[in-house]
Chains A and B, each alone.
Chain A
């Protein structure tokens, strides 16, 4: 079964750090570009970051650029998001999502992990 499972969410104080993980199974992880997408409480979806399969590109939303770092370990079938200098507005459910080939949508999603930034 094709599956993505996120972990690492939790409660953190403003200015703190957190590292999210996404474990992939059931497909050849190294062949796919991967994304992080978040959703603040009661709000819409916001794309956060992408990491291409070939490692030829890494993109970030302006809202997280310079604070978040996406990485992947193809040997461990895992995607990561290192989040530093966290702010209250980073509070959200964070989803890991797989890109279909040729940039045609995100076809596999994890269940999400919740990050709460509060003092």
Chain B
């Protein structure tokens, strides 16, 4: 099974900061990498699919990059509504989620 490891597990940041979250796969997953945002008590929301494609309605401050086994999610200028937990997920072989990265207010 493919394991997904995110770093950091949590981070504190201020409004306006640039934030980067890393996701590593235990083997190559080509471009089958997706990112989700989840707020407390809510279902996850797809942000980015296929490494770098923005889901409809997602603000342009979100971007994704990477290939093979290493991927990043970047929020260019953190907004108050972005404080949430972010998950990466591979769909190359069945499905696996990373453990999540909680973005908190500094």
Residues of A within 8 A of B (CB): 35, 37, 44-47, 50, 59, 61-62, 95, 97, 99-100, 102-107, 109-112
| Contact A47-B45, Cβ < 8 Å, known A104-B50, A104-B91, A105-B55 | no
With A35-B95, A50-B94 as contacts: A109 and B1 at CB distance below 8 Å: no
Q: A103-B32, A105-B55 are in contact. Are A44 and B99 (CB under 8 A)?
A: yes
Q: Are A50 and B53 in contact (CB under 8 A)?
A: no
10 contacts between A and B (CB under 8 A): A47-B97, A97-B44, A102-B50, A104-B34, A104-B53, A105-B36, A105-B46, A107-B46, A107-B49, A109-B45
Bound Cα distance from A32 to B91, whole angstroms = 15
Tally B residues with Cβ within 8 Å of A: 26
Interface readout for B37-51 with A: 1 if CB under 8 Å, 0 if not? 010000111101110
Is there an interface contact between A45 and B55, defined as CB atoms closer than 8 Å? no
Q: How far is the CA of A25 from the CA of B103 in the complex (A)?
A: 33
Which of A44, A95, A105, A111 is B91 in contact with, Cβ under 8 Å?
A105
In the complex, the chain A residue whose C-beta lies closest to that of B96 is A47
